[in-house]
Amino acid sequence: MCLGIPMLIEKIQDNKAVASFMNVRREIRIDVVPEVKPGDYVMVHAGMAIEILNQEEAQETLEMWKELGDENVFLR
């Protein structure tokens, strides 16, 4: 089993994007989801967006992460 982090796409350049999770920004790869656009939520694993999430899925997943505690532990 792997853990994915729901991230909000802020900007895109070529096959990379800047995405955020609870006010932490990271550069991620978007090769697997080339149709993604700014404002979309994606599931990220190992620095790669692996799935586009709808708003409801994203919010549910964000709530689960918040229940786990300190979000910065997962982004170090």
- Tell me the pLDDT of the chain (76 aa) as tens digits: 567 899 999 999 999 999 999 889 999 999 999 999 999 999 999 999 999 999 998 888 888 888 877 555 555 5
- Measured in whole angstroms, the distance separating CA 38 from the mean position of its chain's CA atoms is 12
Lookup result for tokens 């995405």:
19
CATH topology of domain 5-75: SH3 type barrels. (2.30.30)
pTM for the predicted model, two decimal places: 0.81
